[in-house]
Amino acid sequence: MPSATNRLNPLQQKTLTLLQEVARHPIFSEPEDGTGSIAIRMLPEPHGNHFHIGSRVVMSKDASGLRNQAVLRVLERKGMIEVRPGGTLVLTPVGRATETGLRDKILHGSDH
């Protein structure tokens, strides 16, 4: 998998990690036919200082990039996401394949 370490700052890496995790859950996302991309229909809503993605818990402080337009523009410029009209986010095959190394650091709890 391509490494994001040299291409993204820490906030961008966290944001990509969270988008990858959201894309794994059909309640939040939907694969696009034949493209390898995944449209993210909605983002989880925080309650208190955290939110849930499936069985995983994310601290809100690690998710500030999800609604940060500057972060999303960088990910889009690098071909990792598309931002569509209406704000729909689409995780591209490049974004899906990029390894940030943060999944087990910012996603807490069991994934099974």
With respect to CATH, is domain 10-100 assigned 1.10.10? yes
Mean pLDDT within 21-49: 94
Report yes or no: 53 and 43 within 8 Å, Cβ to Cβ: no
What does each C-alpha distance from 43 to 3, 4, 7, 21, 85 come to in angstroms?
Answer: 25, 22, 24, 11, 16
pTM score, whole prediction:
0.91
Predicted confidence at residue 112, as pLDDT, reads 46
* 46-72 mean pLDDT: 93
